[in-house]
Amino acid sequence: MSKNKKSNVDQLLAEMLANHADKSYRNLVKEVMKKHIKLTEEGNSPHSHYELGRIYHLGKDGIHQNLEKAYEHYQIASDHGHPVAPYYLCQMIGSHEERRDADKIRFISQSHHLIDIKVRLLIKAAACGAYCKAEQKYSYYLASSKLWQDGINRYKNWLEEQIRSEEDQAKLGRWNHYLGFIAYKKGTVSGLTESRQYYLQAYRYFSQGGKFGCAASYYYLGYWLYRLKIGYDGHDYKEKAEKYLYKAAQHGHIMSKLLIIKDYRHNYSTELIVDYLTASSSFGFSIVMYYLAILYFRGVTDIILRNYPLALDYLKFALVNSDIETFPFPTSCMYYSLGLMYHYGLGIHHHYNQASYYYYLALQKNNDAYSHYAAWQIGKLIQKRRLSSCDDIQVAIGCYRRARLINQFYGYGCYRLAKLILKSPQTLSLTEDISSTYYFKLAMKCSSLSPYYKGLMYEYGLGVNVDLTQARTFYTSAIEKDGLFCDIYTAHLADKARQKMDLIQIGITYRGILALSY
Q: Max Cα separation, the chain?
A: 87
Res 367: pLDDT: 64
CB atoms within 10 A of CB 425: 11
Nearest to 439 by CA among 413, 458, 465: 413
Q: What is the mean pLDDT of residues 450-457?
A: 95
With a CB cutoff of 8 Å and minimum separation 6, the contacts of 425 are none
Res 100: pLDDT: 55
Res 95: pLDDT: 67
- Band (66; pLDDT cuts 50, 70, 90): very high
- In three-state secondary structure terms, 224 is helix
Q: What percent of the chain has pLDDT over 70?
A: 89
| 404 pLDDT higher than 80 | no
Most confident listed range (149-163, 425-439, 482-496) = 149-163
Res 459: pLDDT: 93
* pLDDT tens digits, one per residue of 476-504: 999 999 988 888 999 999 999 999 998 88
Nearest to 413 by CA among 384, 373, 456, 355: 373
Query: Do 408 and 450 meet the contact criterion of CB atoms below 8 Å apart?
Result: no
Query: Do 185 and 174 meet the contact criterion of CB atoms below 8 Å apart?
Result: no
Nearest-angstrom CA–CA distance, 242 and 253: 14
Q: How far apart, in Å, do the first and last CA atoms of the chain sit?
A: 26
Res 24: pLDDT: 80
Nearest-angstrom CA–CA distance, 479 and 474: 9
3-state secondary structure 56-116: HHHCCCCCCCCHHHHHHHHHHHHHCCCCCHHHHHHHCEECHHHCCCCCCCEECCCHHHHHH
| 151 pLDDT higher than 70 | yes
Angle, CA 260 vertex, CA 257 and CA 264 arms, to 5°: 170
| 472 pLDDT higher than 50 | yes
Res 60: pLDDT: 73
Nearest-angstrom CA–CA distance, 419 and 462: 9
Would strands 93-94 and 106-107 be described as parallel, antiparallel, or unpaired? Answer: parallel
State which amino acid sits at residue 380. Answer: K
| 465 pLDDT higher than 90 | yes
Question: Half-sphere exposure of 187 toward its Cβ, with a 13 Å CA cutoff?
Answer: 21
| 431 pLDDT higher than 50 | yes
Pick the residue with more confidence: 390 or 183?
183
Q: What percent of the chain has pLDDT over 90?
A: 40
Nearest-angstrom CA–CA distance, 186 and 406: 48
Q: Which of 87-101, 383-397, 431-445 has the lowest mean pLDDT?
A: 87-101
Strand partners, 106: 93
State which amino acid sits at residue 200. Answer: L
Res 513: pLDDT: 44
* pLDDT tens digits, one per residue of 321-367: 877 556 666 788 889 999 999 999 998 888 998 899 899 888 887 66
Q: What is the mean pLDDT of residues 59-69?
A: 85
State which amino acid sits at residue 430. Answer: L
Nearest-angstrom CA–CA distance, 413 and 372: 9
For the chain, the average pLDDT equals 85
Q: Which of 103-107, 293-297, 316-320, 394-398 has the lowest mean pLDDT?
A: 103-107
Res 428: pLDDT: 74
Q: What is the mean pLDDT of residues 68-97?
A: 89
Structure letter (DSSP) for residue 1: -
In the chain, helix, strand, coil percent, each to 5? 75, 0, 25
Most confident listed range (85-99, 171-185, 394-408, 426-440) = 171-185
Res 222: pLDDT: 87
Nearest to 385 by CA among 396, 376, 374, 375: 396
Q: What is the mean pLDDT of residues 272-280?
A: 89
Query: Do 169 and 123 meet the contact criterion of CB atoms below 8 Å apart?
Result: no
Question: Half-sphere exposure of 159 toward its Cβ, with a 13 Å CA cutoff?
Answer: 26
With a CB cutoff of 8 Å and minimum separation 6, the contacts of 56 are 63, 65, 66, 67, 69, 70, 73
Q: In 390-467, where does DSSP find H-type helix?
A: 393-404, 410-423, 436-445, 451-460
Please tell me whether the overall predicted TM-score, pTM, comes out greater than 0.85 for this model.
no
Res 163: pLDDT: 94
Nearest-angstrom CA–CA distance, 372 and 403: 5
- Band (231; pLDDT cuts 50, 70, 90): low
